[in-house]
Amino acid sequence: MRILHTMIRVGNLDQSIAFYTEILGMQLLRRQDYPEGRFTLAFVGYGSEDKEAVLELTHNWDTQGYDLGNGYGHIALAVPDAAGACAEIKARGGKVVREAGPMKHGSTVIAFVEDPDGYKIELIQK
């Protein structure tokens, strides 16, 4: 067994695809409209779905946004340099909500960015 994807619901699909591809550097792997169900699925990631876990962005056509609730945590990405990644993300128009630095009660260097729907993405320096 392996993880295939994680699905998140997004309010504006084009804006979300732009964030994940242009700001975080993922690739749009596939996109499919389902007119009968009034939704679109877009899959983004850093590699092919047959080898890598990816994100499924689900856009329900009649829903403009979602309440993230208190159960969601974050998506985590490994980066070689968290401060450098934050600088690149800001230069591309992304929103850094926690600058790179040691995690609370630890020494691992982390940072957090936020996508257009408010989902948090943790950058973990490896």
Catalytic center residues: 122
Per-residue tokens: 74: 């974050």
CB 57 within 8 A of CB 10: yes
Q: Which residues pair with 8 in a beta bridge?
A: 57
Which residue type is seen at 36?
A: E
Which residue type is seen at 10?
A: V
CB 92 within 8 A of CB 84: no
